[in-house]
Amino acid sequence: MNRRPLKMHGLVLIWLGVLVCAWRPGIEDEEPPWSARTFPIGKAHAQKLEHAVRRVLDSVPSPGTGYVQTGPDSLDLDEAAPVLFPARATVVRHYTSDLPPGKLLHDGDKAHVPIRVRASINGWLKVHDVGPGSETPTIFPMKDAIAVEIASGVDSSESRPAEMTIILGDQVLERSAWGLVHPDSSSFRHGRMRVPSSPSEIRHILVRIRGPKSVVEKMASRFEAAPLRSLLGPFPPGFGR
């Protein structure tokens, strides 16, 4: 009996199952380890991913008055990846207030609330909540990208914690994010599985901004996504459409 077609069919179902579950909100914030066998990606591919992810992070506007960066950016980069998936790269930047504790910023935000910006290449497709009492995900209007916002429902102040996830990818991926907020959307579907053209192929870009709701939204509204789309791919004809 030829078991290869059945085996491949099972792999496809598992992969689709991962995608179906990927957009569920969750509080986890680290890339899960690969469960499949991995292979070294090489120095050139690692350098390409590092350059790309740092460019994405540097494209995110700073919080502005009242905040300063704390410490250097932290980089996490896959040195190996499975055959079916490209490698991942993540860099994180933290901001904190440079005002005295308890003092309010000019727009009423709490000065002691820190801000974290996390840029990822091929990162975990997950929208994070902000702890107990998180509100329902909503689409935040953006040009050239799609963004999902989740805010704390503990109070209605503009300084309550929120996280914005900005997604750049092919049409299928971005529509799936829309499907998270509008589950009855007829455009919610999945793309097909394929082997990446290289370990450093960039399938999607994620930017997560966490902090006071009003500051997070201001940073997202000033973020220019269009120049970063040149980093995506290369995709074969018809992929993700």
* pLDDT-derived band at 69, boundaries 50, 70, 90: very high
Residue 238 lies in a domain: no
Q: Evaluate whether residue 59 is within a structural domain.
A: yes
pTM for the model stands at 0.79
Residue range 65-88: average pLDDT? Answer: 91
Range of 25's domain?
4-231
Position 9 pLDDT exceeds 80: no
The answer to whether residue 110 is domain-embedded is yes
Is the model more confident about 140 or about 2?
140
Whether residue 226 is contained in a domain is answered as yes
Kindly state whether residue 240 falls inside one of the protein's structural domains. Answer: no
Q: Tell me the pLDDT tens digit for each residue of 174-201.
A: 877 776 665 544 333 435 557 888 999 9
Considering only residues 155 and 149, tell me which one the structure prediction assigns the higher pLDDT.
Answer: 149
The segment with the largest mean pLDDT, out of 11-15, 89-93, 136-140, is: 89-93
Res 113: pLDDT: 76
Q: For the chain, what is the mean pLDDT?
A: 77
Q: How do residues 198-229 score in pLDDT, each as one tens digit?
A: 999 999 999 999 999 999 999 999 999 999 99
8 vs 125, residue with greater confidence: 125
Structural domain includes residue 24: yes
pLDDT at 3 over 70: no
> Is 121 inside any structural domain?
yes
Most confidently predicted of 114-128, 132-146, 219-233: 219-233
Three-class SS string for 127-167?
CECCCCCECCCEEECCCCCEEEEEEECCCCCCCCEEEEEEE
Asked if residue 141 belongs to a domain, the reply is yes
Task: Report the half-sphere exposure of 143 (CA within 13 A, side-chain side).
Answer: 6
User: CB count, 10 Å around CB of 205?
Assistant: 25
155: which residues sit within 8 A by CB, 6+ positions away? none
Tokens of 35: 């469960």
Beta partners for residue 165, in sequence order: 148, 208
Give the number of domains in the chain.
1
